[in-house]
Structure 1
Amino acid sequence: MSIMDPSNLGSLIHQKEGHLTRELLLSPGGFGLGKIPEKNLPDSTTQMVCGFCGTGCNLNIHLKEGEGICVSPTTEYPVNLGMACPKGWEALSVLQSPNRAISPLVKKSPNHWEPVDWDTALSLFTRKFKGIQQQHGADSVAFLSTGQMVTEEMAFLGALAKFGMGMKHGDGNTRQCMASAVTAYKQSFGFDSPPFTYQDLEESDVLVFVGANPCIAHPIMWERVMRNPHSPEIITVDPRKTETAMQSSLHLQIYPKSDLPLFYGIARILIEQGAIDEKYIQEHTEGFQEFADYVTAYPLERVIAETGLSQAMIEKFADLIKSGKRVSFWWTMGVNQSYQGVRTAQALINLALMTGNIGRPGTGANSITGQCNAMGSRLFSNTTNLLGGHDFLNAEHRDKVARVLSIPTEQIPDQNSWPYHKIIEGILAGKIKGLWVICTNPAHSWINQGQVRDILDRLDFLVVQDMYHDTETAKFADLILPAAGWGEKEGTFINAERRIGRVKRVKRAPGQALSDFSIFKLIAQYWGCGEMFSNWKSPEDVFQLMKQLSKGQPCDFSGVEDYTAIDEQGGIQWPFPDTETQPPAPQRRLFEDGIYPHENGRARFIFSEPSKMPEPPSDQYPFILLTGRGTASQWHTQTRTRNSDVLRKLYPERIYVEINPQDARAQSIQPNDWIMIESQRGHLKARAFITQSVQPGQLFIPMHYEETNQLTDAVFDPHSSQPSYKCCAVKVSTN
């Protein structure tokens, strides 16, 4: 069987991904370790958190003469318990790619860059950006950051750009994955507070996954589900029959973007049947009666019509929630990446609140984070939130941050940054002339790719700071700064369950590449604001500042002594204030006391009328395109995973499209045919993979391939500004 043949994709996924945990993924010989030649046997071992997804697995890094040579999963770490997915096994190999950026590069002509030294590169950086600001104003330069760097570097970048360089606008690629969950939590709870711990996956008797495919996207979390001793009911809500749906007790294969009316209808049924926790509602929430009145507009007939589900399926869903003693609700990109992602996330929060399924083992309204340090970015990137989860608009917060950092309060902006899409629009409008892109790849990942590439090409000066010189965005850069990757620098990540974990330097960065921290330190000196950061000597110095910034916040981790304490305790979940006298338990959840971060201590029921699909299918474009994860061996834009020989063998090399057999027959499409998929914005060719996984009238293309976002529509959630990647209208042709 050819691994690259899309006609064999179903069996390939079954063999390579569907049984991840028992065979390939978890066995020490499965990926990257194998048998080590005796002359290369490790002479010591250290541990640190993986740098791919937000699960936050811990890896043993086996060292030879101080350099990491191979990895194995850490057995006793409370996240992964001795497991790793293919990406974790290959974490070190991607550092050795020939595509690494090893010196600063300056564009001399189209498609031609020449290496320069750091002095030349940073002198050019400073001269160009200062010149743009002098000519067009301080807000004519912006930055786009990431959920991939260590938290200390994020904090340094945000402080340098906003406080030192006078930039008004900066956002991160977490806007693409977690913004809707962040906004939902802030509005409903009063703070961005994912309440769960991974132990809840093993303690629920009913688990509801919405727009989430953890079998593929978060396989170690799925393994935690498989360890659940309670024979749980597993419910998947997804238009596509994903690997997770195939393993579920109940798959609700809804019409795309009909999840919001479904959850309102379920709420109506539970209220009518008295299957709610009235005591919890009365003591810990507000706005329930208004919510209960609102959902009377969602009788079964309406929910059936809008979702395409049968009455029996809907009633069974409600019965399983009603009968469950420990019900947990989990969601990820299928909810967040939507034009109504915030309200959909809040519909799940409402179900958890009204049934009292929060703050107890096995419960919660739980957003599964995408990137390895999205939680760190959400708290400390200094983009749309002030450092430490503070508010740029709050004078007391600005004073506190200024005091901790020993800078004048006037250095801190009193206005919010533009979100990501406004920055892109600002370039198009000629308001932003210079852009600094750090450790992210918008020319691949941003929605409506053709437009964003045209926009990037309009900049007066584009700087890309990355560990690889050949990313899609780097091809537009005027200046490329070579950065160290995971494993080549120090710092911390914060995972999806709020656990702070360590990242360590176990390899030397190649050539002249430097850690992002060192690059920021140098830029501060060249810019002339180095004195502002004179105390920022090392990542651990910044960690101590972050502790002070978190103090008094819901995310307070001022009780974490230092990096050594994080190592010794197997990672530490926030909150852990310095008022605590004992080391924290290894698994902790929020809201056990029913007190929420709103001033009155209550959670809020928030709801609104569902919006219409911005671009529904039509006679000209009769299909709905769905996008999402492909395999457990691929990651986002494949910037790293395509640099592993092992990982590349585990997924189809060429882009493919899933199409239902009924549609394939109607279009005379055979397996492996090259077919054209076209939207109003662009087109691509893909190999046809004929499967019942997608419903008639729908297509699915993995997000990892460069071409995918040529099709997607630049539509955004009005509350979170998150792009809606998951549905747009397309047509299919065979010529």
Structure 2
Amino acid sequence: MIRKATELLRQWDGPLTRDLVLSPGEFGLGQVPEKLVPDQTTRTVCGYCSTGCGLQVHLRDGVAINLSPAADYPVNLGMACPKGWEALSVLHSPDRASEPLWRNEAGELKPVSWDDALKTFCSRFQNIIREHGLDSVAFLSTGQIPTEEMVLLGMLTRFGMGWRHGDSNTRQCMATAAVAYKQSLGFDAPPYSYADFEESDLLIFVGANPCVGHPILWERVLRNQREAKIVVIDPRHTETAQAADLHLPLQPKSDLDLLYGLANLLIERGAVKQEYIDEHTNGFADFAEFVSAWPLARIVAATGLKAAEVEQLVEWIATSERVSFWWTMGVNQSYQGVRTAQSLINLALMTGNFGRPGTGANSITGQCNAMGSRLFSNTSALLGGRDFTKPEHRQQVAQILGIDETRIPHSSGYTYDQILEAVRRGEIRGLWIIATNTVHSWMQRDETRETLAKLDFLVVQDMYHTTETAQEADLLLPAAGWGEKEGTFINSERRFGLLKKVARAPGVALADSHIFRLISHYWGCEALLAPYDHPAKVFQLMKRLSQGMPCDITGIEDYAMLEQAGGIQWPLPAGSEPPAVERRLFADGKFFHADGRAKFLFDAPLPMPEPATDHYPLILLTGRGTVSQWHTQTRTAKSAVLRKLYPAGAYLEIHPRDARERGIQPLEKVEVSSRRGRVTVKAMITPTVGRGQVFMPMHYGETNVLTLPHFDPHSRQPSYKDCAVQVRRLNQENQP
């Protein structure tokens, strides 16, 4: 197999005049493309956020030298944010993982061959399983590798190696939306198209700051020609709130009180579409009775909003023809996020704002391929958006793959938080982390590092050897990154976009798909992945796995069709008419539950698990800092251009009155403490945060020293945006 791997390297990672651009006519199943001609340009999709922008990569003598936004791509229409413009530069960072590294007896990571690395990988994990059972190993995956690689990883771990526990870092961003859609609509199905930003009369953003988090989507909002009103519901006066017609700065985690109250006031006003409710939904009568307990006075008391602000929003919803509700992490990352998301779905259903242009209850995804992870990674859902617990779904997958059904687990196993908890109690002894930076991104950073130290064996597979998590590894496997391999991403509006190889990975780093296939050989389950030796072949498998499911893509012929169409939204079953550029779901009023109806779902709001106290009087909010930063800065910190566009060190935003009470001056260093730890950061004094609240961007390692580990009971998604802290001025002699 090492000889085969070398052949693969020569074929796909050989001279830079080979396999960098594929024209529509050259895309074929496993076909080796022609050499590049000099000064050629090709289109690919960006690998940062879920917007899924098209980028034109410009090559000279077969080498990618620059890029620009693709003017003909239906997502971004010639626009790109700073991260997209700098996507190539981060590939050339000197800290790229270019060879396998093994931690020796002296505790140092030293180079080893792929043969030694993979023998060690398999022998160590297999020894742990023999001694402690299959429940003693697990993997943590990502939303940032191509869908085809997610399929191979899910097949390898679940069906080939027999591992029972595995999850994706998508749990940290999109689990709430996925569960909310499944429960309410019958499938994890964001209903919208980006055209809906341009076609709404009223856009309501809840816990979303697209100006920073999804700037190209905000550009789509600015293209709206319907004189639309914009409402932002967010404790912070964010960049998006500053551009809004109405900002409702509610108290943190009082969303449910406001949204239930809006429903009640709309019902009292008679501003519901009863015919739509009767024909297309279940449970409205019970919902209406439930929300009747939220009169205007209760809304005002719970949220801290003014009555006139609430009444204005009710008036706008009641009188607007096309209302769209948009949310992202401010809703998803909550201990009651699923019910909050469903309260937005409820509002859209009861006002008939589904399936028409400019409408919908619309979750904006986080990572570039979080949707691919939700549907095809074999973590929380069985391949194709199926359910591990359903015998008929296991039978379907087994038949498609030609394997014994008994190889498919009857559950998805532990979620992300449960995996780490099992490590803490000594149940899980071996862990494989792929393309994610757990030490930085998980709550209680210091305890997370201590948790990983309890493992008998930790493998990290990443494109950089310097991440906080890679530094804890016993074995580091070097992986190719965006632009160094092929495949597809699925963006927020369900669009399959084509990722192309425009650069060669450094050293002997391999595409994740190659690593998975090599591991299958060393583990002894090579036959399972052997038929899928090129991403295009995996895509054909994905089509079969999607057949008959709501995400059916059997009508997408191949990569060439994706190239020609500028990406294609699911679903597109075989026999469909040529797809429109942008399509939304539920135009026929039929949802994915067996009876074709959507459900009204609700629960009473819960108190904040860690409210402010005399000792910790401030509530810490977290989120994106600037357009130029991304997640744990694993990539964006490698760009000299991007580093100039955001603060170099961690900082805290604090209201002027709260700062004045503590004697804090602008840019002064302060100590921020919670029940879990303390950090030193610079103070940014700004009225964009409310009194009694502070804000820290998630991109800095200091933030998750403080955050509280608590989770939504339905989605198991962490709630990063509420914990109690204290902020103190440091002694003057400690100031720089």
The equivalent of 1:33 in structure 2 is: none
Give matches, 1:378-393, under 5 Å: 378-393=374-389
The equivalent of 2:710 in structure 1 is: 715
Q: C-alpha displacement at 1:109, in angstroms? A: 4.5
Give matches, 1:21-100, under 5 Å: 43-100=39-96
The equivalent of 1:27 in structure 2 is: none
Q: C-alpha displacement at 1:110, in angstroms? A: 6.0
Partner of residue 292 from structure 1, selected from 288, 292, 302: 288
CA distance in 2: counterparts of 1:65 and 1:447, whole angstroms: 46
The equivalent of 1:36 in structure 2 is: none
Amino acid at match of 1:411: R
Gaps of 5+ in 1: 1-40
Partner of residue 622 from structure 1, selected from 617, 624, 642: 617
CA distance in 1: counterparts of 2:361 and 2:109, whole angstroms: 49
CA distance in 1: counterparts of 2:392 and 2:127, whole angstroms: 34
The equivalent of 2:8 in structure 1 is: none
CA distance in 1: counterparts of 2:339 and 2:491, whole angstroms: 24
Q: C-alpha displacement at 1:111, in angstroms? A: 5.4
Give matches, 1:637-648, under 5 Å: 637-648=632-643
- Local SS of the residue matching 1:689: strand
The equivalent of 2:29 in structure 1 is: none
CA distance in 1: counterparts of 2:125 and 2:308, whole angstroms: 62
The equivalent of 1:589 in structure 2 is: 584
Q: C-alpha displacement at 1:597, in angstroms? A: 0.4
CA distance in 2: counterparts of 1:166 and 1:534, whole angstroms: 17
The equivalent of 2:28 in structure 1 is: none
**CA-to-aligned-CA distance 1:334-386 (integer Å, 9 cap, x gap):** 00000000000000000000000010000000000000000000001101110
The equivalent of 1:322 in structure 2 is: 318
Amino acid at match of 2:318: K
The equivalent of 2:6 in structure 1 is: none
The equivalent of 1:561 in structure 2 is: 557
- The alignment status of 1:600 with 2:592, answered yes or no, reads no
Q: C-alpha displacement at 1:218, in angstroms? A: 0.2
Q: C-alpha displacement at 1:623, in angstroms? A: 0.3
CA distance in 1: counterparts of 2:259 and 2:242, whole angstroms: 22
Amino acid at match of 2:502: V
The equivalent of 1:696 in structure 2 is: 691
- Local SS of the residue matching 1:505: coil
CA distance in 1: counterparts of 2:612 and 2:437, whole angstroms: 30
- The alignment status of 1:352 with 2:348, answered yes or no, reads yes
**CA-to-aligned-CA distance 1:432-475 (integer Å, 9 cap, x gap):** 00000000001000112122111001000000000000000011
Identity across the alignment (%): 61
The equivalent of 1:376 in structure 2 is: 372
- Local SS of the residue matching 2:115: helix
Amino acid at match of 1:447: M
The equivalent of 1:16 in structure 2 is: none
Runs of 4+ in 1 over 3 A off after TM superposition: none
Amino acid at match of 2:615: Q
Give matches, 1:110-125, under 5 Å: 112-125=108-121
**CA-to-aligned-CA distance 1:612-634 (integer Å, 9 cap, x gap):** 00000001100000000000000
The equivalent of 2:416 in structure 1 is: 420
**CA-to-aligned-CA distance 1:33-81 (integer Å, 9 cap, x gap):** xxxxxxxx97100101100000000000111122211111110111000
- The alignment status of 1:141 with 2:128, answered yes or no, reads no
- The alignment status of 1:577 with 2:566, answered yes or no, reads no
Give matches, 1:145-156, under 5 Å: 145-156=141-152
Q: How many residues align structurally? A: 694
- Local SS of the residue matching 1:536: coil
- The alignment status of 1:669 with 2:673, answered yes or no, reads no
- Local SS of the residue matching 2:131: helix
Check conservation: 1:502, 1:567, Cα contact below 8 A.
yes
Gaps of 5+ in 2: 1-36, 731-736
Check conservation: 1:42, 1:62, Cα contact below 8 A.
no
CA distance in 1: counterparts of 2:412 and 2:83, whole angstroms: 36
- The alignment status of 1:268 with 2:259, answered yes or no, reads no
CA-based RMSD: 0.9
**CA-to-aligned-CA distance 1:111-153 (integer Å, 9 cap, x gap):** 5210011001001001100000000001211000000000000
Partner of residue 397 from structure 1, selected from 393, 396, 411: 393
The equivalent of 1:29 in structure 2 is: none
The equivalent of 1:35 in structure 2 is: none
CA distance in 2: counterparts of 1:215 and 1:692, whole angstroms: 18
CA distance in 2: counterparts of 1:579 and 1:504, whole angstroms: 27
- The alignment status of 1:680 with 2:680, answered yes or no, reads no
CA distance in 2: counterparts of 1:430 and 1:694, whole angstroms: 41
Check conservation: 2:517, 2:530, Cα contact below 8 A.
no
Check conservation: 1:111, 1:475, Cα contact below 8 A.
no
Amino acid at match of 1:492: T
The equivalent of 2:655 in structure 1 is: 660
The equivalent of 1:500 in structure 2 is: 496
**CA-to-aligned-CA distance 1:310-333 (integer Å, 9 cap, x gap):** 110010011111111100000000
The equivalent of 1:6 in structure 2 is: none
Check conservation: 2:654, 2:695, Cα contact below 8 A.
yes
Check conservation: 2:552, 2:573, Cα contact below 8 A.
yes
The equivalent of 2:30 in structure 1 is: none
The equivalent of 1:15 in structure 2 is: none
- The alignment status of 1:536 with 2:528, answered yes or no, reads no
User: Which piece of structure 1 moves more, 110-119 or 465-474?
Assistant: 110-119
Check conservation: 1:463, 1:481, Cα contact below 8 A.
yes
CA distance in 2: counterparts of 1:719 and 1:70, whole angstroms: 44
Partner of residue 734 from structure 1, selected from 721, 725, 729: 729
Which TM-score applies when normalising by structure 1? 0.94
Amino acid at match of 2:697: P
The equivalent of 2:16 in structure 1 is: none
Partner of residue 181 from structure 2, selected from 180, 185, 190: 185
